[in-house]
Each structure stands twice: as C-alpha cells, then as structure tokens.
Amino acid sequence: MYEPNGCFLRAVFVTVLSVGLLPLLRAQSPQLPPGAIEPKVSAACTECHESRIISQQRLTKAAWGKEVDKMIKWGAVVDSGDRDAFVEYLSTNFPSDKAPEVMPRALAAKKH
Amino acid sequence: MAAAAFPPLLASAGEQSEVYIPGEAGMIVRSAGFFDLEMPPEFFDSWITPTPHFFVRNHMHEPTTLDRETWRLSVSGEVEKPLHLNLADLEKFQTRTVTNTLECAGNGRGLYQPHVPGVQWQKGAVGTARFSGPRLRDILQRAGLTVSGKHVMFQGLDEVPGKVPPFLRSIPIEKAMDGDTLVATHMNGSALEKHHGFPARALVPGWIGAASCKWLSEIKVLDKEFDGNFMKPGYRMPNHPLKPGEPLNVDDSHVITSLNVKSVIASPTDGSILDSRTFKVRGAAWAGEAEIVKVEISSDGGTSWQAARLHRDEAKYAWRLWSHQVKVPEAGEYTIRARAVDSQGRAQPQEPEWNPSGYLYNAIDQVTIHVRA
C-alpha cells in the first residue's frame, strides 16, 4: 500500500496552506481608491500584483499609458474599451506630483 | 526537507498599514505580492547584514514548493558533458566564501526626477552578506566547457504569471570563470532562506543583484549573449547621457554589469531633531568591483567637506562602514551630505545619470536635520 512520506505530506500541507490563503491575501490587500472603473482595475492588476505596487507609483498620464499597455502585453486582462479609463483612473489617483506613499513596516506576528 | 512557502498575513480592513511577514520584522514593505522588502536606514549599522534585515527583491512569485531532496541543477549548452547535480553533488565541490554587497539595480529609483515606474526603492535595496558554495568555474569545468562558450545563462524556479517573459539573463564567460563567482548554497553561515534563493543561487560579486539568479535550476552555456527581455530592453544604461525624461535608445545602450560608487547616510535620518550640536554621522559606501578610498561629509550643504573615518572591516566586494563626528556652530537646520570616491577614480555625482528605468541611482546622499540645542 502506498504510504505518503514526510516530504510529500509537507508539500501537500504547504500547497493547501498557500492556496487556501490566497483569497484571504487578495481580500486583505489595501483597497485602491474608489472609482467607477476601480473594480476592473483591481481585478486586472491584483491578479499578479499587490495593490501597494500600484499605489506607490507617481507617474504622468503618458507614463501610465505605457505601463498599462505593457501589462496588457504581459497578460493583464483589460477590455480594449477600458484601456483609456484605466489610464485616466491611475493617473488621477497616482499622479507624478502626489506626495510619496509611506510604506508599512513588516511585523513578525499579529498583536494580541 | 521542504522549505515552507508561507505567505504573509496581511492586516484586515482598518489596519491596512500592517503586514505580517515571519522573519522579516521591521523591513519596509514595498510589495507583499511579489516580495519586495527594503532595509530601513537603522539597519545599516552592521558590516554583515543579518539575514532577516537583508533586502528581498522578487520579480515573480516565489516557487510554491522547494525540496532539497528532489531539487536538481542542470548544466547544459556549450559543454561536453551536461550535468544534473543535486545538493549532495554540490557539497562535494570545494566551498568558497565571498563577502559581497548585493544591491538591486533599481535601488534609489524612488529618488529619480521625473519619477519612473517600478518598485520605488529609496536607500535600502542593498545589503552585505557572506555567501558560500562551489565556484561556478569548477562546475563548468566539470561539465567540460567548450571554447564556443561565451556567456552563461541562469534560470530559476520562480513562477511566471501571465505572459510575462521568464527572468532569464546571462553573464560573460570571463565573469563566470572568475574564482569569486559562486553557486551559493549558504548565506551568513546558514542554508539560504527561501526569500534569498533556497536551495542555491548564483552569486556574481560586485554586479547588480539581477545577475545573481535565485532558486537556480539551470545553467546554460551560450555561444553569445542572451537577448531576452531582461537583457534587452531591460537592465540597460544609455551610452551617452540622457536629459531627464528622455527615452532610452536601446540600440545606443549597454547591459548593466558592475555596481557604481555610492554612499548613503544611515544616521541621523532625514528630518531628525537633535538635542546636541555635536553628533555622529554614520553610513556605508560601496563600489561594486572597485574599492572605496574616501568618503567625505559636508554639514554646510556642500560648501566644505571633511574626510570620514572608514571602519576597519573590509573585503573585496563589500561595503565600508564609515562615521564622522560633526559639530555645528548653533541651533538651526542643516543639510548633511556624503560622497564617496573609489579606486577607479569614480566619485558620486551631484545628479544621478538619468535613465527611464531608474537604475544605478548614486547621487550624493543628503539628509536635512534640525539642531535645537
């Protein structure tokens, strides 16, 4: 009879833990600012990125356009009719003249 | 034993500034998706950076599972005898330890004007560690490197999302055959942590971090430089200076290899309020494959400069810590600046060499402080 070894069990445990936490991580990643297109932006961008990688950018509208086009080329799912609305949303909320975002510090464990 | 793949526990709504990452307390979280963790200035106080304080830069998802029993490293391409090595095979090679300052090419990107896209690193995508493992040269020689081998490409096990090109890059055969270029299995005396490339990573000393591929699984010897996305157009600098905001002409650019000369002020931190007119300025300086020969400090905004004391600890590819006692004449606001010069005669510039990806930022560092005594 097949008996799973320790490595296999650890791999299963880690996989289940990782996959199980992914929806939690996605749900608890900071929300992007509200806007009509925000649900689509969040869905497209946070498929790969955590929202902080977006919110820390400070770019002109032209630079945001290049970024959106690059991400579409690299697999981001964006309806062709939404491309300009994405750029408008991102350049309005994360413009080049906005103050830098203050990033959080990692904590070792949740406080009780 | 498998290296655990525990993701971070992010805070719930209303506590959005808190991120829980076991073993990484205090690090600045630039991304908890693909991990991008920056060392804060207060952790520049050690010549060897403790592993929990060492920056993490991931372009893709970390491998979901890694197992030292099943992991294999293939060596192929322009060799006579392709190899498939396991960790026990690597341990049979002679071990070399190299103390190296590893810096992300994009460290300081967040300081460029105009802003450029990418992880907005400030000072701390850099750290110094002792890396140990077999020489890459010995592995290539075991495989029977042929004279047609001109470049060595590394591939890791990171998981590529969507249609993103895999993170493949190559280094010239001369650097690959340098006796200090390693397949590192250990960092600071312990097996590599997962965030740092367990079970093995390339270590290309003195060069940008992107050259030192993590979670190494394949070494392929090529007859020419690899030309994938992360070699071209990625990780290139202009051959001629660009005006800020000017685009890069890829055909008039070169691949980034070695780090440039740089120093950063670790303390006092920008915006500090000091209660004494006498205080110590501390920091670190590094120069890739060159040596730091001088660090100078100015407390009057750059009008006059005094030599800082270089601390004793040094190694070929490692940063030098430095310090300097400053005494200001009266209470008020002061701009403290630091600039380094290396053994190749390179000095930190007043302005960084602008490029649209924000690589190799090394402008003279400065902090503004307020003395109220």
A7 in a structural domain: no
Check residue A110 and give its pLDDT.
66
Question: Using a CB-CB distance cutoff of 8 angstroms, which residues of chain A are in contact with residue B19?
Answer: 104-107
Among the partner residues B20, B70, B119, nearest to A53 by beta-carbon distance: B119
Question: Counting one residue from A and one from B, how many pairs have CB atoms under 8 Å apart?
Answer: 146
Cα B123 vs. chain centroid, distance in angstroms?
A: 11
* 8 A C-beta contact, residue B20 and residue A24: no
B38/A46 CB distance under 8 A = no
Residues of A in contact with B31 (CB under 8 A): 49-50, 52-53
Rounded to whole angstroms, what are the CA distances from B242 to A61, B16, B107, B246? Answer: 21, 39, 19, 6
B230 Cβ contact partners less than 8 Å away, ≥ 6 residues apart: B59, B165, B167, B168, B169, B210
Would you say B240 and B355 are in contact if contact means Cβ atoms under 8 Å apart?
no
Whether the predicted pLDDT of B44 surpasses 80: yes
- Name the residue facing B115 among A25, A29, A96 (closest C-beta): A96
Nearest chain B residue to A64, by CA: B117
Class of the CATH domain delimited by B262-371:
mainly beta
Asked if B57 and B33 touch (Cβ cutoff 8 Å), the reply is no
Q: What is the enclosing helix (H) or strand (E) of B36?
A: strand B35-38
Residue B23: which region, alpha, beta or left (left: phi > 0; alpha: psi -120 to 50)? Answer: left
Question: Least CB-CB distance to B2: which of A7, A47, A74?
Answer: A7
CB atoms within 10 A of CB A103: 23
- Nearest chain A Cα to B166, which residue? A74
Map out the domains of chain B as residue ranges: 56-231, 262-371
CATH architecture, domain B56-231:
Alpha-Beta Complex (3.90)
Into how many domains does chain A fold?
1
Higher-confidence residue: B280 or B34?
A: B280
What pTM, to 2 d.p., does this model score?
A: 0.91
Does A100 sit within 8 Å of B120, measured CB to CB? yes
- Report pLDDT digits (tens) over B201-257: 999 999 999 999 999 999 999 999 999 999 999 999 999 999 999 999 999 999 999
- The DSSP H or E segment spanning A18 is helix A6-28
Instruction: State mean pLDDT over B295-300.
Output: 97
Q: Is the pLDDT reported for residue A23 higher than 70?
A: no
Contact B190, B97 (CB under 8 A): no
Query: Higher model confidence: residue B155 or residue A15?
Result: B155
ipTM of the complex as predicted? 0.89
Task: State the residue range of the domain holding A86.
Answer: 32-95
Interatomic CA distance for residues B63 and B55, integer angstroms: 18
- Residues of chain A contacting residue B30, judged by C-beta atoms under 8 Å apart: 52-53, 56, 103
Mutate: best of B1, B6, B15, B16, partner A, most A CBs <10 A: B16
- CA distance linking residue B312 with residue B321, whole number of Å: 8
The SS3 assignment for B136 reads helix
* Cis geometry, peptide bond prior to residue B166 (ω within 30 degrees of 0): no
pLDDT at B17 over 70: no
Query: What are the pLDDT digits (tens) for B259-295?
Result: 999 999 999 999 999 999 999 999 999 999 999 999 9
